[in-house]
């Protein structure tokens, strides 16, 4: 007996949450609108209040809705958000959000590293790297451009992989690369010529840039990447509590 099919019947609360997320995303419930009451959802899904409240709680945690004693639950002004702790893979995030991820590879190359990239990957200037340049889609609509750079040691797995077929992250995991830690820096940039063409927006359109470096347990750099999101397709949220500091920090530029 192996792992068996990951078939797993979907839980009720999960199903309710997905229904609401989808309805909100597709505009069936606009920002400011009231969601159906818990009682209505209970009837609609032939469930009980528990699962309904679990779903609501999930959505509240994602910042999608706001609720309170006596008040109807309302939809907040929102775009999809990645929860900071589990942003690892674009594909994975899409699946969690019930979106179909897509990718159109623009370029895959094995080439010598230029100076700044070499420094970022902690290799020598001119050492070979594997670089990938892809347009990423959400439900077949352009959403992000992705520039990935790997030292050859890890990049060789990428060269042997069809980059149009899915998640590189998952492929690396399956190849036994132990991705242990990642560091992300978020800022804003204007779309350059390539970005603008692929994302179908004017040059200079504000994009949300996420630069990521991933490490093994031993501290070797696996990846140095630059993702640029259309800000109306994705944003980042994080929660912090007094006394329980968040892992995010604001860094001063030059």
Partner DNA sequence: GCTGAGGATATGTATGTACAAGTTTGATGT
Partner DNA sequence: ACATCAAACTTGTACATACATATCCTCAGC
C-beta of 122: minimal distance to a second copy in Å? 6
CA distance 169 to 50: 35
Residues in region 11-30 near DNA by CB under 7 A? 11-14
Q: Kindly state whether residue 120 participates in binding DNA, applying the rule CB under 7 A.
A: no
Residues between 6 and 25 with contacts to a second copy, criterion CB under 8 A = 13, 21, 25
Verify binding: residue 71, DNA, rule CB under 7 A: yes
Interface of this chain with DNA, residues 234 to 253, rule: CB under 7 A: 250, 252-253
Helix or strand run (H / E) with residue 131: strand 128-138
Instruction: Indicate whether 183 belongs to the interface with a second copy (CB under 8 A).
Output: yes
Annotate each residue in 123-142 with x if it binds DNA (CB under 7 A) or - if it does not, as one string. -x------------------
**Applying CB under 8 A, does 192 fall inside the site for a second copy?**
no
The DSSP 8-state label assigned to residue 86 in this structure reads G
Contacting a second copy within 114-133 (CB under 8 A)? 115-116, 119-120, 122
Q: Compute the distance between CA of residue 129 and CA of residue 112 in angstroms, rounded to an integer.
A: 6
User: Under the criterion CB under 8 A, does residue 238 sit at the interface with a second copy?
Assistant: yes
Give yes or no for residue 54 binding DNA (CB under 7 A): yes
Report d(CA 136, CA 166) in Å as an integer. 10
Nearest-angstrom CA–CA distance, 142 and 144:
6
Q: Which residues share a beta bridge with 115? A: none
Pairing assessment for the beta strands 65-68 and 71-75 based on DSSP bridges: antiparallel
Binding at 23: pick from a second copy, DNA, none (beta carbon under 5-8 Å per type): none
Question: Can you tell me the distance from the alpha carbon of 26 to that of 34, in angstroms, rounded to the nearest whole number?
Answer: 15
Q: Does 99 bind a second copy (CB under 8 A)?
A: yes
Contact 64, 35 (CB under 8 A): no
């Amino acid at each position: 007996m192996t792992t068996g099919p990951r078939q797993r019947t979907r839980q009720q609360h999960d199903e309710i949450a997905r229904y609401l997320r989808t309805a909100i995303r597709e505009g069936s419930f606009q920002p400011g609108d009231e969601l159906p009451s818990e009682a209505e959802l209970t009837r609609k899904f032939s469930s009980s209040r528990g699962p309904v409240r679990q779903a609501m709680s999930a959505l509240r945690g994602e910042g999608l809705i706001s609720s309170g004693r006596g008040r109807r639950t309302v939809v907040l002004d929102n775009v999809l958000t990645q929860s900071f702790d589990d942003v690892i893979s674009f594909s994975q995030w899409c699946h969690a959000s019930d979106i179909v991820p897509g990718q159109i590879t623009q370029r895959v190359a094995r080439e010598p590293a230029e100076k700044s990239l070499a420094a970022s990957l902690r290799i020598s200037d001119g050492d070979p790297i594997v670089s990938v340049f892809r347009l990423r889609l959400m439900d077949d609509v352009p959403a992000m451009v992705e520039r990935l750079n790997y030292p050859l040691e890890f990049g060789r797995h990428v060269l042997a992989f069809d980059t149009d077929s899915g998640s590189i992250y998952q492929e690396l995991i399956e190849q036994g690369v132990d991705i242990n830690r990642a560091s992300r820096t978020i800022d804003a940039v204007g779309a350059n010529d390539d970005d603008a063409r692929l994302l179908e927006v004017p040059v200079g359109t504000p994009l949300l840039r996420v630069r990521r470096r991933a490490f093994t347990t031993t501290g070797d750099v696996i990846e140095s990447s630059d993702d640029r999101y259309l800000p109306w397709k994705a944003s980042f949220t994080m929660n912090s509590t007094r006394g329980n500091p968040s892992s995010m920090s604001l860094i001063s530029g030059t």
